[in-house]
Chains A and B, each alone.
Chain A
């Protein structure tokens, strides 16, 4: 049984009597011990999908209009508030983009980690356990660091503390929402290495949200590409990077700068991402698609398994 199974999730934001669909028919699975990368442009619904796993999107305005989120076989959308609190930080832990903003500036980091421990493993809420966790995420001299305030640490250290907090409850699934975007490149590499190592040691699953395709190759077992609230392609990362099937994935990969090659202009995808609620009728990528055909703008597309383990939302993927 997969650890997490999202089936046809549909979620809308309602405001002033209008409802805007942010997530439309998203299906994902994550097996125990697997790393899934969720890739896509800003505003395509990645973060909202990830936050939905523990029902963290405040509702209202969010409304789930269809689908299920099965975590260990139980539907998160039908859970009570108490059950949800058990899941948050228990089975599922989160690490966010900006560690400086995610740590409360007025508490010592040791206390913040302990707070997570108290909630989920009260018998382990000790300084020793906090030190063990800090060691686990590679913070030097943790004994003296637990008394530090967040502003006394660098961004990379803060992110390590956030990861330690997330690991405090021994989660089955770690959701990392662009964990390295706010950090500089060398620190990025260190944090990613840390994630890889932790995954090996603790055997948890990771859902990694990113728009950096370089990270995908390093970390992911499988990749799901999102566009306009839909998953347009899902495949093992190896296959996807080598042979993308959906025109959007191809365009995305073409816009990544390469080490080899000349100094020609980077290819960008023409046009803009459709705003929420103003999706085109047929395939949502059709207006920007370099190889769109006339009927693309009228035929809505379905996510189809075209090869074993490879899902694509494009009727012409085979001929392109």
Chain B
């Protein structure tokens, strides 16, 4: 998972091409195989048929693969302009598509890496927002009790009763059509976490209810601390072991949520890359049968979600003494 996030952060560097670079001569190019030739790594060169649907290996003809080659310019971490890529052929007319190309002739591997930036960060931003809301609402509901508790928890139940998917689709249709991808993306995260905080608020309220009876909370009150400080400093830290586990386990939900939305066409729009939008291309069974490499983002999602679940389970075993 560390690898996944590391690659995602430096996607510009690891991807041989930009996510929106299209290649009119290589639609649906199949994955190019790696060869050893002339004492180094090389890529097989293929010959395309006239209708761009079938590619054949040209025997014995390879293009050497170089590391740290100059290529298209990109901005590392969004601010450092660079042109060096981790690997590439250095020759634009003989590109290396290790995972093939899609229907626009774009490199699937590059799009996968750029897409991971969006798909993975959506989970992180999402849990921060969701658990932020959940902590404050749940913490106060539990600590203060009485009317505050009733109002917050009833509104939680109200929110939980709304079917999230339909709400998002309805809200999505209200976005202006010319909206930039980043804005759409941010709004989707906000919506996902706005409908999701209620569940975590409930659990945190429960924890806060039990923690407020602790003597150190009484001790904090005898010091004259304000309710805000008591909740933030003394009640909520007690719920962190739960939070860390719950947050880790809910990141995959956000990733999958984005995938679902993009898949349904209400998420991020082309030409931006995200795993969901790439999977959308694999929607059609015919093209899937012809070009199975379009499923690559599916494998990436599978691995990432699995990694998060393992991490979450491991953290729970390490932090939670009760189970």
- Which B residues, 225 to 260, have Cβ-Cβ distances below 8 Å to chain A? 225-226, 233-234, 237-238, 240
Interface centre among B215, B218, B224, B225 (most CB of A within 10 A): B224
For the complex, is A202 an interface residue (Cβ under 8 Å from B)? no
Mark contacts of A101-124 with chain B using CB atoms, 8 A cut-off: 1 yes-contact digit, 0 otherwise: 111111100000001100110000
Q: Which residues of B contact A88 (CB under 8 A)?
A: 221-224
Q: Which residues of B contact A105 (CB under 8 A)?
A: 216
Interface residues of A in 165-196 (CB under 8 A from B): 165, 169
Judge if B220 is at the interface, Cβ distance under 8 Å: yes
Q: How far is the CA of A47 from the CA of B219 in the complex (A)?
A: 14
Q: Which of A87, A103, A119, A162 contacts B225 (CB 8 A)?
A: A119
Report yes or no: A86 in contact with B222, Cβ–Cβ below 8 A. no
**Complex: how many Å from CA A89 to CA B220?**
9
Q: How far is the CB of A72 from chain B (nearest CB, A)?
A: 16
Contact of A115 with B233 in the complex, beta carbons under 8 Å: yes
Interface of B is mostly: helix
B221 contact set on A, CB distance < 8 A: 56, 88
Interface size on B, residues (CB 8 A): 18
Question: Known interface pairs A85-B224, A90-B224, A115-B225. Does A96 touch B238 (Cβ–Cβ under 8 Å)?
Answer: no
| Interchain CA distance A2-B224 in the complex, whole Å | 23
Given contacts A104-B237, A106-B237, A106-B238, A115 and B223 within 8 Å (CB-CB): yes
Q: Complex Cα distance A31/B320, Å?
A: 50
- Name the B residues within 8 Å of A92 (CB-CB): 222
Given contacts A85-B226, A87-B224, A115-B225, contact A103 B238 (CB under 8 A): no
B214, B224, B233, B234: the one within 8 Å of A89 (CB) = B224
| Residues on the A chain within 8 Å of B220, using CB | 104
A96 contacts B218, CB within 8 Å?
yes
In the bound complex, how far is the Cα of B226 from the Cα of A84, in angstroms?
A: 10
With A104-B216, A104-B237 given, is the CB distance from A94 to B225 under 8 Å? no
The one of B146, B214, B222, B240 that contacts A54, using a Cβ cutoff of 8 Å: B222
A98 at the interface (CB under 8 A from B): yes
- Chain B's closest residue to A100 (CB) is B215
Known A-B contacts A88-B224, A119-B224; A96 and B215 likewise in contact (beta carbons under 8 Å): yes
Quick one: given A104-B234, A104-B237, A106-B237, are A93 and B222 in contact (CB under 8 Å)? yes
A39 to B297, CA, bound (A): 73
Q: Give the secondary structure class of A's interface.
A: mixed
On chain A, the residues within 8 Å of B219 by CB distance are 94, 96, 102-103, 162, 165
Q: Which residues of A contact B216 (CB under 8 A)?
A: 101-105
> Which B141-157 residues have C-beta < 8 A from chain A?
146
Report B-chain residues with C-beta under 8 Å of the C-beta of A106. Answer: 237-238, 240
The answer for the CA separation of A101 and B238 in the assembled complex, in Å, is 13
Q: How many residues of A contact B (CB 8 A)?
A: 29
CA gap between A60 and B221 in the complex, in Å? 16
Within 8 A of A (CB), among B120-161: 146
- Are A98 and B215 in contact (CB-based, < 8 A)? yes
| Residue pair A116, B215 in contact (C-beta under 8 Å) | no
Restricting to B180-226, which residues have a CB under 8 Å from any CB of A?
214-216, 218-226
Tell which of B215, B224, B233 touches A101, judged by Cβ atoms closer than 8 Å: B215
Which among B146, B214, B218, B237 has the highest number of chain A CB atoms within 10 Å? B218
Contact of A94 among B222, B237, B238 (CB under 8 A): B222
Give chain A interface residues in 66-104, CB to chain B under 8 Å. 84-90, 92-94, 96, 98, 101-104
Task: Identify which of B223, B226, B233 gathers the most chain A CB atoms within 10 Å of its CB.
Answer: B223
Q: How far, in Å, is A149 (CB) from chain B's closest CB?
A: 12
CB proximity of B244 to chain A, nearest CB, Å: 13
Contact partners of A93 in chain B: CB under 8 A: 222-223
Contact, CB under 8 Å: B224 / A120: yes
A120 surroundings in chain B (CB, below 8 A):
224
Most chain A CB within 10 A, of B222, B225, B237, is at: B222
Which A residues lie within 8 Å of B237 (CB)? 104, 106-107
Chain A residues whose CB sits within 8 angstroms of the CB of B240 once the complex forms: 106
Q: Are B218 and A56 in contact (CB under 8 A)?
A: yes
> Do B223 and A119 have beta carbons less than 8 Å apart?
yes
Contact A165 B223 (CB under 8 A): yes
List B contacts of A86 (CB < 8 A).
224
In angstroms, Cα B226 to Cα A120, docked, is 12
Q: 5 closest pairs, A vs B, by CB? A: A88-B224, A89-B223, A94-B222, A101-B215, A89-B224
Besides A96-B215, A101-B216, 20 more A-B contacts (Cβ < 8 Å) are A56-B221, A84-B224, A88-B221, A88-B222, A88-B223, A89-B224, A89-B225, A90-B224, A92-B222, A94-B222, A98-B215, A101-B214, A101-B215, A102-B219, A104-B216, A106-B237, A106-B238, A107-B233, A115-B223, A120-B224
Pairs A–B under 8 Å by Cβ, sample size 29: A54-B222, A56-B221, A60-B146, A85-B226, A86-B224, A89-B222, A89-B223, A89-B224, A89-B225, A96-B219, A101-B216, A102-B215, A102-B218, A103-B216, A103-B219, A104-B220, A104-B234, A104-B237, A106-B237, A106-B238, A106-B240, A115-B223, A115-B233, A116-B223, A119-B224, A119-B225, A120-B224, A165-B219, A165-B223
